[in-house]
Amino acid sequence: MKILIVGTGYVGLVTGACFAEMGHHVICLDIDQNKIDQLKQGVIPIYEPGLEEIVKRNAKAGRLEFTIDYSYGVLSSSVCFIAVSTPPDEDGSADLSHVKAAAREIAKHMNGYKIIVNKSTVPVGTAIEVTKTMRAILGDNGSFDVVSNPEFLKEGDAVNDFMKPDRIIIGSDNPRAIAVMQELYSPFNLNHERILIMDLPSAEMTKYAANAMLASRISFMNEIAGLCEEVGADITKIRQGIASDKRIGHAFLYAGAGYGGSCFPKDVKAIKAMAHQKGYDSPLLDAIEQVNARQKEVIGKKLDAYFESLGGFEGKTIAIWGLSYKPGTDDMREAPSLTLIRFLLERGAHVRLYDPVAMSKAREMLKTSPQIQWSSDEFEAAKGADAIALMTEWKQFRFLDFDRVLSQMKGKAFFDGRNQYHPAKMAQNGFDYFSIGRKAKIHKESLSLV
Ligand code: NAD
């Protein structure tokens, strides 16, 4: 089958590469000339484990092409995926301008029946909007169906997720379109039935409900973690205690410095906006967001409390380990590290930053400042630092020579935003160690450490 993927970002490139790997002929299209030029030269513009190999192999075999030319892409394909960005608009709702721009361009080049697949995360009603947008150009000419096929891959493990999806959701009430989609996805459906067919609004809503649910688990644990610090309980033990209940399970129950990324923040905003537009009260959705906004400030507040008795942040240097919003990706969108860095810079601190893969994306997001130093590894970042804050739990930080780390530091404070280390061991190592929800509340009057 010949497929066009419009939008060659995290979702579009992975989708295109994985379909090509299964033998389909794929054209990946983007309006970003630079991105397409890079891809044509075999340079992968994002970090995603395993992706480079698949892209290169399929491009070499001629099954995966890259273009900025809508005419070429649409004329050559019978199925057109729209996988462009849907950032939040001013009121939090999903901005559909890129989706509609893609729909218009596809409509301009139609040459026979096509299936238009909304893979971007879009609010209920977008399939109808896409149809209207295309009809405004085509009039009564042109034959097409719009299908919803939300994507559930997670950055950092996107190729695996796409190759072995938990489910493939197809939203449509049109048998012809459903049959084509089933055939397209059949190579991913061999082991067991993964395809769920549903009406369009339900398919569109499922993606938002899934992300809001996952975000709610994180915010719930973060709220309980804050309470643990008040009452002297340990959130890691609470997690074990509740996760062993099969009805609750283990996934997505880690307390930390808050969630970020391109999806949870914007999708929670968008589902809230959907409720608001309908005049429907959604206090739980509001709370997910409020708790997360507070949580992204938690490490900054702990640092503030610690340094208050040591003369404040002036002349202090904080090393930050991990910048991307989670391990396994270079994605810096809404990363909690950015909240912390901005907080520290505003208060006059110097920061020494290190991330295994997100350094160049982080540089793009932070203005050049004499207060910022970029480091080549975690040890260099720790040199001369008064404190270290771990913000992304990259595996390489798990087992470190902490004697070496401490010997290079000026101070001895360690703020663990991802609960990666054992409090007693870190104390033995000589650190003033603080983490999330593990009895290490800092009282402004007297430091109480455990
Ligand atoms: P992205 O920003 O990485 O990529 C989007 C791409 O679309 C960019 O390369 C951009 O240049 C291109 N684009 C924008 N307008 C275009 C147009 N008119 N024509 C052609 N190309 C255009 O975004 P992403 O992270 O891949 O997300 C895409 C969609 O998938 C979003 O709706 C997102 O919510 C959803 N999604 C993302 C993830 C994820 O983990 N990133 C997971 C599931 C779903």
Residue 362: per-residue pLDDT:
97
Per-residue tokens: 26: 């794929």
Residue 439 pLDDT class (50, 70, 90 cuts): confident
Q: Does residue 449 carry a pLDDT above 50?
A: no
Averaged over 136-143, what is the pLDDT? 95
- The finding on whether 15 has its CB within 6 A of some atom of ligand 1 is no
Averaged over 194-203, what is the pLDDT? 98
Q: Does residue 39 carry a pLDDT above 50?
A: yes
Separation of CA 239 and ligand 1 centre (Å): 34
Residue 146: per-residue pLDDT:
98
Separation of CA 31 and ligand 1 centre (Å): 11
Residue 425: per-residue pLDDT:
95
Please report the beta strands in 361-431, taking only residues with DSSP state E, as ranges in sequence order. 372-374, 387-390, 413-416
What residue's CA is closest to ligand 1, atom 3?
9
Per-residue tokens: 209: 């409900």
Per-residue tokens: 259: 């969630």
Residue 440 pLDDT class (50, 70, 90 cuts): low
- The finding on whether 262 has its CB within 6 A of some atom of ligand 1 is yes
Averaged over 271-276, what is the pLDDT? 97
Q: Does residue 61 carry a pLDDT above 60?
A: yes
Separation of CA 47 and ligand 1 centre (Å): 15
Nearest-atom index, ligand 1, CA of 94 = 32
Cα–Cα distance measured from residue 349 to residue 154, given in angstroms and rounded to the nearest whole number: 34
What residue's CA is closest to ligand 1, atom 9?
9
Averaged over 354-367, what is the pLDDT? 95
Separation of CA 10 and ligand 1 centre (Å): 7
Is 263 a known active-site residue? yes
Q: What is the pTM of this model?
A: 0.94
pLDDT tens per residue, range 246-267: 999 999 999 999 999 989 999 9
Residue 191 pLDDT class (50, 70, 90 cuts): confident
- The finding on whether 149 has its CB within 6 A of some atom of ligand 1 is no
Reading across the β-sheet that carries 64-67, which strands appear in turn?
Answer: 64-67, 25-29, 2-6, 79-82, 114-118, 144-148, 168-171, 195-198
Residue 442: per-residue pLDDT:
58
Question: Percent of the chain having pLDDT more than 70?
Answer: 98
Q: Which long-range contacts (CB under 8 A, 24 or more apart) does 183-186 make?
A: 183/1, 184/1, 184/3, 184/19, 184/24, 184/79
Residue 5 DSSP SS3:
strand
Listed residue (174, 192, 198, 165) closest to 19, CA to CA = 165
- The finding on whether 124 has its CB within 6 A of some atom of ligand 1 is no
Averaged over 276-300, what is the pLDDT? 98
Averaged over 209-236, what is the pLDDT? 97
Residue 446: per-residue pLDDT:
45
Which entry of 18, 80, 228, 263 is annotated as an active-site residue? 263
Averaged over 214-221, what is the pLDDT? 98
Per-residue tokens: 196: 């769920």
- The finding on whether 9 has its CB within 6 A of some atom of ligand 1 is yes
Averaged over 425-450, what is the pLDDT? 75
pLDDT tens per residue, range 70-90: 999 999 999 999 999 999 999
- The finding on whether 83 has its CB within 6 A of some atom of ligand 1 is yes
Residue 450: per-residue pLDDT:
38
Nearest-atom index, ligand 1, CA of 10 = 26
DSSP 172-240: -S-HHHHHHHHHHHGGGSSSS--EEEE-HHHHHHHHHHHHHHHHHHHHHHHHHHHHHHHHT-BHHHHHH
Listed residue (188, 161, 159, 165) closest to 49, CA to CA = 159
pLDDT tens per residue, range 97-110: 999 999 999 999 99
Contact 123, 270 (CB under 8 A): yes
Distances, alpha carbon 257 to alpha carbons 135, 228, 288, 339, 366, in Å = 46, 15, 14, 10, 19
Contact 388, 382 (CB under 8 A): yes
- Helices within 325-377 (DSSP H only): 336-346, 359-365
Residue 246 DSSP SS3:
coil
- The finding on whether 86 has its CB within 6 A of some atom of ligand 1 is yes
Nearest-atom index, ligand 1, CA of 120 = 32
Averaged over 290-310, what is the pLDDT? 96
Q: Mean pLDDT over all residues of the chain?
A: 95
Cα–Cα distance measured from residue 52 to residue 7, given in angstroms and rounded to the nearest whole number: 17
Residue 448 pLDDT class (50, 70, 90 cuts): very low
Site to substitute for ligand 1 among 29, 30, 69, 334, most atoms within 8 A of C-beta: 30
What residues contact 2, with CB distance under 8 A and at least 6 apart? 24, 25, 26, 27, 76, 77, 78, 79
Separation of CA 82 and ligand 1 centre (Å): 9
The larger pLDDT score, comparing residue 450 to residue 13, is at: 13
Listed residue (1, 143, 22, 135) closest to 81, CA to CA = 1
- The finding on whether 337 has its CB within 6 A of some atom of ligand 1 is no
What residue's CA is closest to ligand 1, atom 27?
85
pLDDT tens per residue, range 165-189: 999 999 999 999 999 999 999 999 9
Per-residue tokens: 138: 């085509």
Per-residue tokens: 312: 């404040």
Separation of CA 388 and ligand 1 centre (Å): 34
- Phi, psi at 42, each rounded to 5°: 80, 15
